[in-house]
Amino acid sequence: MGRWILVFVSLGTFIAAAQPANFEHIVVIFQENRTPDNLFQGLCVPPFGSPASCSITPSASQYNIQTANWFDKTSATGVTKPALVPLANKYDLSHAHSAFVVQCDQAANGACRMDGAAGVSCSGKCMTKPQFRYVDNSANIVTPYLELATQYGWANYMFQTNQGPSFPAHQFIFGGTSAPSAADDAAGIFAAENMSASGPAGTGAIAGCIAPAGTTVKLITPTGENQAIYPCFEHSTIPDILPAFVTWRYYAPSAGSIWTAPNAIGHICQSTGPGGSCVGSDWSANVDLKPADVLSDIANCKLRSITWVIPSGANSDHANSNDGGGPSWVTSIVNAIGASTTCDNNRGYWQNTAIVIAWDDWGGWYDHEPPTFVAQPGGDYQYGFRVPMIFVSAYTPAGYINNDRHDFGSILRFIEHNFGIQEGALNFADSRATNDLAGFYNFTLAPRAYQPIKTPKNAYFFLHDRRKPTDPDDDGDDWIH
C-alpha cells in the first residue's frame, strides 16, 4: 500500500509525482559467512576500480577494503600478505564466539587489535594461513556482486550485531535479538552459538522449537558463558509489530535449519513438541521451504511487503558448502524485480522495492576493521565483525558509498521507518542501532531504469534445479572450535 507525494506545479494544479513516500516492498537477502576484505577485493582493481578506489581510511568515494599487509601477530613482521582462495573452497573456519574472541585480540583499553585471525581454527582441506585469503575472481564468479556494489549502494561499515555464528545472527535479522525473552535481552543474555548437534547422523543440528529433546544452545551473559537452554524463545519479532496491511514471507531451505529464524519463536512455530513440526498459522501462511519460490512469486506478482530470503547451501557463499552459485542466485532475484513491469497495478516492482543484501557473519575470514561495542547490557556481545552489505533500489545513485556505522538493527529500523512504525519499537537491536539506512536512497531523485546484470546462472536455472535444497551447511555447536 504505497503513499504518493503530490507536487504543486503551477496555476494551483496538483499532479501525482513519480516519487513515492516509501517502498511498498523490502527484500532482505541474507548470504553466509564473508567479510568485505575476503569477498570484495574486486572493487579495488579494474574494471570496477583501481588501488586508489580502496583505503582503510576511506573518503566518501572509496571502499574500505585492505588490499595488503593484513595484521597477523604470528608473523615476524606483524603482517601477512593475503592470498587467493576460490569462492567454492574446500575448508571452513570457525565462526564461534570463541573464534571472535581470538580474532579480535582485545587490548587493555577494550578495543580489538584485529590481528588474531591466525588463531581461528580450520577444518577440511586447509591452505597455508587459510584465514588470510580473499576470493579469486579470475573466472568472474563474483562479478555479479561487484556489479551490484558499484551500480548501487555499498556500506563501508556494516557489522553483524552478534559476535558469533549463524543461528543468533538470523535471530537478530528477524526479531532484533537472540535473547530467549525480552527480559533476557534487557539483561544482556543472548543465545551465542549454533545448536548442539541433535539430528540423525549426517543431518547436523536441528534448531528451534522443533529440535529433538536434549538439544541446547549456549548462552552468553554479562558474567560469562556458562548456561545452555532448549532453543525455543518467546519475544516479539518484526512480523509482530507490522501494521495490518503489511505482509511478510520467509524463504528458507528447511524447517529445522539454524538459518530458518521463525522456527525458534514459540508463538510463530507453535511446535507439536520436541522433534515435531511447526504448525502455527503464521508459520503455515508465511514460511516457504523452497528458496527458489521467491522467483516464482516475483513473476506471479505475489511478492509480500517484507521478504527474507535464505539460500540453499549450494548458493550460500558458505565456505566448504557452496558451489559458486551465490552471486548468480542473488542477482537473479534482483534481475527478476528489476524486470517486473506488470505487478502492482502495472507499475512493476522495480520502482517501489528496496533490496538489502547482507551476509550473516564473518565466517572466520580476516577483516581489518575493528567493531565498536555498545554499552552494557549486551556490550560484551555486540557488535561483531564487519560483513558486506549492498543496498539496491531505483532511488540509489550508482557508485554510492556510505560511511555510517550499521548493524542488523539498522535494517530493522529501516523496515520500521518505511512502514510507519516507531523506530526502536522492538526495544532490541533496533533500539540500539544508530541509523536506519536512510542515506542509501533519495525519493526526490527520478527513479533509475533497471539495467539487467549478467550472471553465469539465471532464474530459469534456479527454478528448474532439481537438487534438494540443503541448509547452508550442517554446522552444529561451534563452541568447541
Q: What pLDDT does 472 receive?
A: 72
14 phi and psi, to 5 degrees? Answer: -110, 140
- Strand blocks (E) in 182-273: 190-191, 217-221, 224-229, 248-251
Q: What is the pLDDT of residue 90?
A: 95
Task: Out of 146-160, 220-234, 306-320, 415-429, pick the least confident.
Answer: 220-234
Q: Does the pLDDT value for residue 12 go beyond 50?
A: no
Nearest alpha-carbon partner for 150 in 85, 53, 219: 53
- DSSP secondary structure letters along 330-373: HHHHHHHHHH--SHHHHT-SGGGEEEEEEES--TT----PPPP-
Tell me the C-alpha distance between 365 and 132, whole Å.
Answer: 7
- Report pLDDT for 200: 46
Cell numbers placing 8 = 504543486
Percent of the chain past pLDDT 70, that is, above it, reads 93
H or E element that contains 390: strand 389-392
**55 burial level (CB within 10 Å; 0-12, 13-18, 19+):** middle
What pLDDT is recorded for position 197? 62
Confidence at residue 84, expressed as pLDDT on a 0 to 100 scale: 97
> Locate cell 496555476: which residue?
11
Q: Would you kindly state where each structural domain of the chain is located, as residue ranges? A: 25-176+234-475
Name the pLDDT band for 9 (thresholds 50, 70, 90): very low
Tell me what the mean pLDDT of segment 203-221 comes to. Answer: 88
Show the DSSP H helices in 202-311 as ranges. Answer: 266-269, 281-286, 293-299
Q: Sorting pLDDT into bands at 50, 70 and 90, what band is 481?
A: very low
Q: What is the pLDDT of residue 29?
A: 98
Q: Residue 470: which pLDDT band, with cuts at 50, 70 and 90?
A: confident
Question: Is pLDDT above 50 for 16?
Answer: no
Cα 133 from Cα 209, distance rounded (Å): 37
pLDDT grade, residue 378 (50/70/90)? confident
Work out the number of other CB atoms within 10 angstroms of the CB of residue 429. Answer: 30
377, 392 in Cβ contact below 8 A? no
What is the bridge-based pairing of β-strands 91-93 and 122-124? antiparallel
Q: Is the pLDDT of residue 7 over 80?
A: no
Distance set, CA 179 to CA 186, 196, 378, 464 (Å)? 9, 17, 10, 38
pLDDT at 205: 73
- Residue 52, pLDDT > 90, answer yes
The mean pLDDT of the chain is 92
- The β-bridge partners of 221 are 224
pLDDT one-digit tens code per residue, 435-461: 999 999 999 999 999 999 999 999 999
Paired with 401 in beta bridges are: 154
The three grid cell numbers given for residue 216, joined into one nine-digit string: 541446547
pTM: 0.93
Per the CB < 8 A criterion, the answer to whether 361 and 126 are in contact is no
Residue 198 has a pLDDT of: 52
Residue 11 has pLDDT above 60, yes or no: no
* pLDDT above 90: percentage of residues in the chain: 87
How buried is 468 (Cβ within 10 angstroms: 0-12 exposed, 13-18 middle, 19+ buried)? exposed
Q: How far is CA 91 from CA 122, 128, 363, in A?
A: 7, 12, 11
State yes or no: pLDDT of 474 exceeds 60: no
Chain segment 273-312, per-residue pLDDT in tens: 999 999 999 999 999 999 999 999 999 999 999 999 999 9
Q: Name the β-bridge partners of 91.
A: 124
**Hey, CA dihedral for 454, 456, 459, 460, is it positive or negative?**
positive
Residue-level pLDDT at 20 = 79
**Is 95 within 8 Å of 163 (Cβ atoms)?**
no
| Residue showing cell 529445522 | 256
> Bridge-partner residues for 190, per DSSP?
220
- pLDDT tens figures, 149-163: 999 999 999 999 999
Element (H, E) at 414: helix 408-418
| Residue 417 near residue 163, CB atoms below 8 Å | no
Query: Beta strand 14-20 with 4-8: parallel, antiparallel or unpaired?
Result: antiparallel
pLDDT at 473: 62
Q: Average pLDDT for residues 210-227, to the nearest whole number?
A: 89
Spell out the alpha helix ranges (H) of 69-151: 97-104, 143-151
What pLDDT shows up at residue 224?
74
Q: What is the pLDDT of residue 5?
A: 40
Which neighbouring-strand residues pair with 84?
A: 134
Q: In sequence order, which residues have a C-beta less than 8 Å from that of residue 12 and are 6 or more positions away?
A: none
Nearest Cα neighbor of 305 from 358, 239, 360 is 239
> Which pLDDT value is given to residue 14?
40
- Residue-wise pLDDT for 91-144, tens only, equals 999 999 999 999 999 999 999 999 999 999 999 999 999 999 999 999 999 999
pLDDT at residue 479, as a whole number: 36
Neighbouring CB atoms inside 10 A of 292's CB total 24
Domain 25-176+234-475 falls under CATH 3.40.720.10:
yes
Count how many residues are written for the chain. Answer: 481
Tell me what pLDDT residue 469 has: 82
- Give kind and range of the element (H or E) at residue 337: helix 326-339
Lowest mean pLDDT among 2-6, 86-90, 284-288, 308-312: 2-6
Q: Which long-range contacts (CB under 8 A, 24 or more apart) does 127-130 make?
A: 127/83, 127/85, 127/91, 128/83, 129/72, 129/80, 129/83, 130/85, 130/91, 130/93
In 3D space, the residue among 462, 324, 404 whose CA is nearest the CA of residue 153 turns out to be 404
Instruction: Please tell me the distance from the alpha carbon of residue 46 to that of residue 63, in angstroms, as a whole number.
Output: 14
C-alpha–C-alpha distance, residues 61 and 295, integer Å: 33
